[in-house]
Amino acid sequence: MPSATIVGLQWGDEGKGKVLDALAKQVRCVVRYQGGGNAGHTVIVGEEKFVFHHVPTGILYPGVKCVIGNGTVIDVEVLTGELSAARERGVDLSGLVISNRAHVVLPYHRALDDAREQARSKDNKIGTTKRGIGPCYADKASRTGIRVADLYEPDTFAKRLRRNLDEKNAILHHLFGQAPLSYDEIYTRTLAAAESIRPYVGDGGQVARTALDAGAPVLFEGAQGVMLDLDHGTYPYVTSSSASSAGVASGAGVPPAAVGTVLGICKAYTTRVGSGPFPTELLDEQGERLRQLGHEFGATTGRPRRCGWLDLVQLRYACALTGAKRICLTKLDTLGGFGPLKVCVGYERGGQRVNTLPADGAGWDTLTPVYEELPGFDGDELLGATSPEQLPAAALDYVRFIEEQLGVKVSYISTGPQRSALVHMDEGVL
- Number of residues that make up the chain: 430
| Rounded Cα distance, 16 and 126, in Å | 23
DSSP string covering 412-426 = EEE-SSBTT-EEE-S
Q: In the chain, what is the straight-line distance between the N-terminal and C-terminal CA atoms, in Å?
A: 11
| Rounded Cα distance, 419 and 344, in Å | 30
The DSSP H or E segment spanning 197 is helix 183-197
Choosing from 21, 41, 75, 139, the catalytic residue is 41
74 with 102: CB under 8 angstroms?
yes
Write the single-letter amino acid at 340.
Answer: P
Q: Is the peptide bond before 277 cis (omega within 30 degrees of 0)?
A: no
Write the single-letter amino acid at 383.
Answer: L
53 is catalytic: no
174 is catalytic: no
| Rounded Cα distance, 245 and 328, in Å | 16
| Rounded Cα distance, 271 and 225, in Å | 11
Closest CA to 326 of 394, 245, 252: 245
Other C-beta atoms closer than 10 Å to the C-beta of 274 total 20
CA distances from 16 to 126, 204, 210, 242, 256 (A): 23, 22, 25, 16, 22
Other C-beta atoms closer than 10 Å to the C-beta of 144 total 12
Active centre residues (catalytic): 13, 41
